[in-house]
Amino acid sequence: MKNNVKTTCMLIALVMMSGAVQMFGQAAVPFITISPDSRANGMGEVGTGLADNIYATHWNVGGLGFQVPATTKSNDKKVALAYAKWLPQFNADLFYAHAAYSQYVPSLEGTVNANFMLMNLGEFKRTDFSGKVLNTFRSFEYAFGVGYGTLIADDIGAGFQLKYIESNLGAPVNVQGTGTGDGIGRSVAFDLGMLWRPETFDLFGLDLGDKLGIGFNLANIGPKVTYINVSDPLPTTLRIGTGITVLEDEFNKLTFAFDMAKLLVRRDSIVNDPIPKSFITAWERGGIETSFGVEYWYEQVVALRGGYFSEPASIGNRRFFTVGTGIRYDVFNLDFSFVIPVEENHPLGNTMRFSLIGNIL
């Protein structure tokens, strides 16, 4: 028995919707590029030069190195949850969820982070060529990661992360043996990141000590994902970013951030370059994402955020503004963000994200 072509087309469409559109046809499992952090999303998708919370494993794993408790009695255990109903414009059963745990380990002189992300792609009917329904199945993708970061100098944090990735786009084999098992791909990957946050730094008479962060992160380096007889590369991405606090006093804190990202994949109908060759050939096509954001805190209790994300037409032409807010109460941080596309009726329109960070007592 074979799946109906219509069902296959629906699956392809969902893959396109599950992540960045420009990556479809170039890279598999684009869901692992979705930012789980509503704070960063509210700032226009920035975070490489900040990376100062539990979500650092997505933006810059080197930021884990700076997450050291102030004293031996300080709270060093954190949990995080994030959720977004994905592409609400389509009114489909799609959602993205993320969970993480982070803890500083004195014996390792660094912070360990474990995280899990899930993209639910909904339920499908498996049919034969006559249109007869054979069974139903759910499509989903998930990844599990473990990261570690430490200080390699007083002002430099470095880290790495290992990931297991699984993409279930077809009908799995069940106990009745009616599934095909097609459309299931697996891979492993690793990330590398560094963050420079100088304690003392003077630039043209301006004191930027403990106010500036510059980072880079190379994410999703690993073997290709194979579906049946087709192999697609992972969305290996290079990110470079900076963050700077321009105002900080007893009541106010104002931070600006800027990121650039490049998908290091070269794949089309003719070429499917492996890594590390694609690290070079991917630049032949150009296409760099840029994002800018701002965050304002009042009394470290309430935050207001805004940002703008843009990419060239050659890699998807996504352009949108973002707004967000945050509330800090006791041991909890609750963040919310909202996407405002430049185009009308854009699939990302009305996308709301929520994330929560809590300190474990």
Q: What is the pLDDT of residues 218-247, one digit of tens each?
A: 999 999 998 877 788 999 999 999 999 999
Binned at pLDDT 50, 70 and 90, residue 87 comes out as confident
Q: What is the mean pLDDT of residues 178-195?
A: 83
Q: What is the pLDDT of residue 25?
A: 44
CA distance 156 to 55: 18
Compute the average pLDDT of residues 241-261.
96
| Residue-level pLDDT at 118 | 96
- pLDDT of residue 177 exceeding 60: no
Residue 341, preceding peptide bond in cis (omega within 30° of 0): no
What's the rounded mean pLDDT across residues 66-87? 82
Domain that includes residue 14, residue range: 5-359
3-state secondary structure labels for all residues of 213-238: EEEEEEEEECCCEEECCEEECCCCEE
Instruction: Look at 290 and 14; give whichever has higher pLDDT.
Output: 290
Tell whether the model's pLDDT for residue 23 goes beyond 70.
Answer: no
Query: What amino acid occupies position 188?
Result: V
pLDDT of residue 72: 55
The CATH number that applies at residue 225 is: 2.40.160.40
Per-residue pLDDT band for 121 (boundaries 50, 70, 90) equals confident
Give percent above pLDDT 70 in the chain: 87
Q: Binning pLDDT at 50, 70 and 90, where does residue 155 land? A: very high
pLDDT of residue 18: 36
Instruction: Give the C-alpha separation, 88 to 84, whole Å.
Output: 9
- pLDDT mean over 272-279: 83
Given a cut of 80, whether residue 312 has pLDDT beyond it is yes
pLDDT band at 182 (very low <50, low <70, confident <90, very high): low
Burial of 199 (0-12, 13-18, 19+ CB in 10 A): exposed
Angstrom distance (rounded) from CA 263 to CA 85: 25
Which range of 119-128, 181-190, 343-352 scores highest in mean pLDDT? It is 181-190
Entry pTM: 0.86
Instruction: Give pairs for 12-18: CB < 8 Å, separation 24+.
Output: 14/92, 14/94, 14/121, 14/122, 14/139, 14/169, 15/121, 15/169, 17/86, 17/87, 17/90, 17/92, 17/94, 17/347, 18/86, 18/94, 18/119, 18/121, 18/141
Bigger pLDDT: 163 or 342? 163
Q: Would the pLDDT of 4 be above 50?
A: no
Total number of domains in the chain:
1
The reported pLDDT for the residue numbered 136 is 76
What is the structure's pLDDT at 75? 56
- Mean pLDDT taken over the chain: 85
In this prediction, residue 343 carries a pLDDT of 81
pLDDT tops 70 at residue 167: yes
Cα–Cα distance for residue pair 239/233, rounded to 1 Å: 18
